[in-house]
Amino acid sequence: MDFLKLGVFLLGISALILASIALHAYLTRPLGPYEKFWAYCDFNTVIIRANEDLRNVSVLDVNGTLICSFNEIPKGSDKICKVGREGVYRVVSGREERAVICRSPIAPTPAPGGD
């Protein structure tokens, strides 16, 4: 048996094993900071998207007045809360809190030189 061929074969096997370990580590790494939920405002409606099961979620105005409350939001679900006017709102779930700014859409203006 030729030891040179055996050595090359063993080096190839070890390279495949190392490549598979590196690929596994790359595919299973965390993708940055994990957010329990996202919140944003569109057309004076606060939209809450849950990335995990949430309990006791509240939407408060800037003065702390309760606007909406949800006992539970399942993972992967969205809930909406109509706030009614522009302003800054807080979305609170446990210890996490997000600030959301609601603005009215900007009305389009005609282009200069048009009809």
| pLDDT tens-digit readout, 34-66 | 789 999 998 889 999 999 999 999 999 989 899
Q: Output the pTM of the full model.
A: 0.64
DSSP 11: H
Sheet architecture: strand order including 96-102: 66-73, 54-61, 87-93, 96-102
CATH number of 37-102: 2.60.40.10
pLDDT at residue 80 in the model: 95
| Per-residue pLDDT tens digits for 63-114 | 989 999 999 999 999 999 999 889 999 999 988 999 999 987 777 888 887 6
